[in-house]
């Protein structure tokens, strides 16, 4: 599932990141005094979930990403309301892992004796622990976020990137969140793990030319032209290992999604993709930095928001 030795070395390599790329309002030591068992409890539940189903690691990483891109990293994606982000096009019948977040919340509140760990922080920590569990790098997660009391399907429809975007649209989408083209490529490397549904890549494998023909035919066998919308295909050939095969596939024109292949299609991100395809340390280092940067998108801190007792519902005031 990935080299344990690589993960240990990566941990050592990335230890200094906390002092170079975090918001002054957040700290990796936020829970050290108020609940020292918090991080180890979250790690235990995540490792168990990923052990039972490798794909869950990618799902938990994606939850954090899709949360941060709508209203900021505030756990708004977890709320069950009429206007829920869960029902937005990019999320509906696609994002998953909510029951794992519920389990983490229950276990961590029990360990802390009360609800002190926000759902937003749980998403950020679970994303990191999922990457590590699948053989990838670690980083010091910045903590102290609070939870939103609102969610917006409309904002999710508007703000989330789609698998059908071209490179200029992707760059603009990330720029709107304070992320640059390097962050775009590094964070897209999260597609080193996980799967995509047929409807997200059907047009790419049947109608587009910037794809390896043999690869396209192979994917067509799993994704019929007029059926099987929810059929799954791996985003890279080692979907349970956080490695660089995603990037080496792009160089060979074997990107599964249109938006994936756009990163290596004659544009400004080609050189970075090529570099990551042969340099795991560079990819891991930049991925960790970009995850910290993404985690700092509009966090609620201080007296803003709340610490939800149930990640699916806003606390009721009496």
Are residue 25 and residue 140 in the same domain, yes or no? yes
294 part of a folded domain:
no
Query: Helix (H, G, I), strand (E, B), or coil: what is residue 47?
Result: helix
Alpha-carbon torsion, ordered 114, 43, 130, 285, to 10 deg: 110
Say which residues have a Cβ less than 8 Å from residue 104's Cβ, sequence separation at least 6: 41, 42, 45, 46, 122, 126
Domain co-membership, 116 together with 75 = yes
49 touches 63 (CB < 8 A): no
Q: Which percentage of the chain shows pLDDT scores above 70?
A: 92
pLDDT at 19 exceeding the cut of 50 = no
In a domain? residue 298: no
How high is the pLDDT of residue 318?
53
Residue 176 in domain: no
Q: CA-CA distance, 134 to 50, in Å (whole number)?
A: 8
The answer to the question of residue 166 being in a domain is no
Q: Say if residues 194 and 62 touch (Cβ distance below 8 Å).
A: yes
Q: Three-class SS of residue 58? A: helix
Q: Do 221 and 133 sit in the same domain of this protein?
A: no
Q: Identify whether residues 146 and 258 lie together within a single domain.
A: no
User: Per residue in 205-231, pLDDT tens?
Assistant: 999 999 999 999 999 999 999 999 999
- 251: its two tokens: 């160089």
Looking at the structure, tell me whether residues 140 and 272 fall in a common domain.
Answer: no
Domain membership of residue 249 as a residue range: 181-285
Residue 91 forms part of a structural domain: yes
* CATH of residue 272: 1.10.420.10
* Span 148-167, average pLDDT: 96
The position carrying tokens 């549904």 is 197
> Is 196 among the domain residues?
yes
Question: What backbone phi and psi angles, to 5 degrees, belong to 164?
Answer: -105, 0
- CATH number at 42 reads 1.10.520.10
Contacts of 303 (CB under 8 A, 6+ apart): none
pLDDT digit string, tens, across residues 66-102: 999 999 999 999 999 989 999 999 998 889 999 999 9
Is residue 85 domain-shared with residue 125, that is, in the same domain? Answer: yes
Helix, strand, coil share of the chain (percent; to 5)? 50, 5, 45
User: The whole model's pTM is what?
Assistant: 0.91
CA distance 73 to 58: 18
126 inside domain: yes
Q: 27 φ, ψ to 5°? A: -150, 140
Q: Point out the residues that are catalytic.
A: 66
- As a whole number of angstroms, the distance between CA 44 and CA 266 comes to 43
Q: Is residue 292 part of a domain?
A: no
**154 and 189 inside one domain:** no
Structural domains of the chain, count: 2
């Amino acid at each position: 599932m990935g080299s344990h030795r690589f993960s240990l070395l990566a941990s050592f390599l990335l230890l200094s990141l906390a002092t170079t790329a975090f918001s002054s309002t957040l700290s990796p030591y936020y829970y050290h005094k108020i609940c020292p068992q918090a991080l180890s409890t979250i790690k235990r539940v995540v490792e168990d979930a990923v052990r039972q189903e490798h794909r869950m690691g990618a799902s938990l990483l994606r939850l954090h990403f899709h949360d941060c891109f709508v209203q900021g990293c505030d756990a708004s994606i977890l709320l069950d309301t009429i206007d829920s982000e869960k029902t937005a096009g990019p999320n509906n019948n696609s994002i998953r892992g909510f029951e794992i977040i519920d389990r983490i919340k229950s276990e961590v509140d029990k360990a802390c004796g009360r609800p002190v760990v926000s759902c937003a922080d749980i998403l950020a920590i679970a994303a990191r622990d999922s990457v590590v569990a699948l053989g990838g790098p670690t980083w010091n997660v910045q903590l102290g976020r609070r939870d939103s009391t609102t969610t917006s399907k409309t904002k999710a429809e508007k703000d989330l990137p789609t698998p059908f975007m071209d490179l200029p649209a992707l760059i603009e989408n990330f720029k709107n969140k304070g992320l640059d083209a390097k962050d775009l490529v590094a964070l897209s490397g999260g597609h080193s793990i996980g799967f995509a549904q047929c409807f997200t890549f059907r047009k790419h494998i049947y109608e587009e030319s910037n794809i390896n023909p043999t690869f396209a035919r192979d994917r067509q066998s799993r994704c019929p032209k007029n059926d099987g919308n929810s059929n799954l295909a791996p985003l890279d050939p080692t979907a349970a290992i956080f490695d660089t095969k995603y990037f080496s596939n792009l160089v060979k024109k074997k990107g599964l999604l249109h938006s994936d292949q756009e990163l290596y299609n004659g544009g400004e991100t080609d050189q970075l993709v090529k570099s990551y395809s042969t340099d795991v340390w560079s990819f891991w280092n930049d991925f960790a930095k970009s995850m910290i940067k993404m985690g700092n998108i509009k966090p609620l801190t201080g007296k803003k928001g709340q610490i939800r007792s149930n990640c699916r519902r806003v606390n009721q005031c009496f």
